[in-house]
Structure 1
Amino acid sequence: MRKLTPRFIGPYQILKRVGNIAYQIALPPSLSNPHSVFHVSQLRKYVFDPSYVIESNKVQIKENLTFETLPLRIEDQMNKELRGKTISLVKVVLGGATGESATWEVESQMRDSYPELFPSVIGRSYW
């Protein structure tokens, strides 16, 4: 469900250049499962700024390079017209080890998965 993932974790040392557009990176043991060669578009020059670096030991990264976040609250609602259908969307604030972020999700899916985020007053809508 996480759409606004942290942009980068690290920094990590570049071990060697592989071809014209890829580099092999020295990854910690907790990230040893994925391949260690990355395309240059996935890498950024490291400029020290502690607010931009997310320590990988704070983020529990799964084998498929994803991590879990939980929805904290519903912040807004809107209806969107798509191919003649009206789809109700909610702005969900997500929280996790990387802090808070927000994303638009389909309201019906969020109600099914996380009913506790929605007011339970019958016959009254807060949107």
Structure 2
Amino acid sequence: MKFAQGGQQSYVDNRRRPIVLEAEDRVMLKVSPWKGIIRFCERGKTSPGFIGPFRVLSRVGEVAYRLDLPDELDGIRPTFHVSHLRKCLADKEAHVPPGGIELDSKLNYDEEPITIIDHQEKAFEE
């Protein structure tokens, strides 16, 4: 059992990348659609996976960071695990606004289709 665990741990360690952020760094925040809801067999490939960038205020513990969130996201706690953050390497003018997305307190949003492009009727034989 120890041998198997050691093999799996070395597999994970090779792919893990340490993320260390400093105060005043800019990060993108991960958002996701509601789990289990699929609209017309598509996940919405063009829906944004990240919003931001937001400024890092401080580090909380070993793997959490406190962000400077805008007033539109005042219902969301400003502390996030590092797995929900991506360092923003773009210039300071780049911005993905959260205004077009209705986010809940768990950073989920509901995908809804704009139009139905095609439909198909199937007849079952008995």
Higher share in strand: 1
TM-score (norm 1): 0.48
Which structure is richer in relative contact order (CA contacts within 8 A, separation 6 or more)? 2
TM-score (norm 2): 0.49
